[in-house]
Amino acid sequence: MKRTVSLSLSLLLSITLIVFAFPMNASAATANYPGSNFSVTPGDVLYSHKGWDSGFVGHVAIVGDDRKIYHSTPANDVPSGATGESLSSYLSRFPASSKIEIYRYGPHGKFGPFQEPVKAGKWARLNYSKVQKYTIAGGYKMSDITKNYCSKFLWQAWKYGANVSIDRPYMGNYMKPDATTLFAPAEINLSQNSNASIFTKIATVTK
């Protein structure tokens, strides 16, 4: 009897030590996009045809390596011009019946797993706090993180985080870091229709 109790206590102690040595990470839990079987995955691009501001058409964001949603935004509660938030918080910014398309990295004719999306998501997490102002005014270089907007921040995450050019892949006319041309959110949507596309639409979330 004593031997049985001793073994049980030893087993319980071992399990306790394992739990404390390897704590459960809540962010590691994989969740799916609402209404789909696709998991929220680092590097995924969230695209909406309309922003929540009536004077702003189109919005994009990227999933970080911690599965938070990172984006540069003109929202009143984000004075810095960029934020990282949960998927539910992000979706709450859009009006009812809004549709958010989910795009996933996967160059035409190539097969994963890919490290580029994780690298792009990590860059977004590490650099969103460097944004000081949201602006779509011309004259600012694509390399300027401090003055930013949604699709520019997305471009930077892929360019500087993963060395991947995501602009105009269907035209092959890529931007350079010193370019001051605006990169429109809709270009993510248009690029999927080309053999040169690096994104594929995997789901549409209807709020």
Report the DSSP beta bridge partners of residue 90.
Answer: none
Q: Are 73 and 82 in contact (CB under 8 A)?
A: yes
pLDDT of the chain, 207 residues: tens digit per residue: 444 434 443 444 343 333 333 333 434 456 999 999 999 999 999 999 865 443 446 899 999 999 999 999 999 999 999 999 999 999 999 988 889 999 999 887 787 899 999 999 999 999 999 999 999 988 899 999 999 999 999 999 999 999 999 988 777 778 899 999 888 888 877 666 666 678 989 999 998
Helices 150-162 and 116-127 cross at an angle (nearest 10°) of: 120
Enter the pTM of the model: 0.82
Q: Which two tokens stand for residue 29?
A: 């839990």
At 195 the pLDDT is: 64
C-alpha–C-alpha distance, residues 62 and 82, integer Å: 12
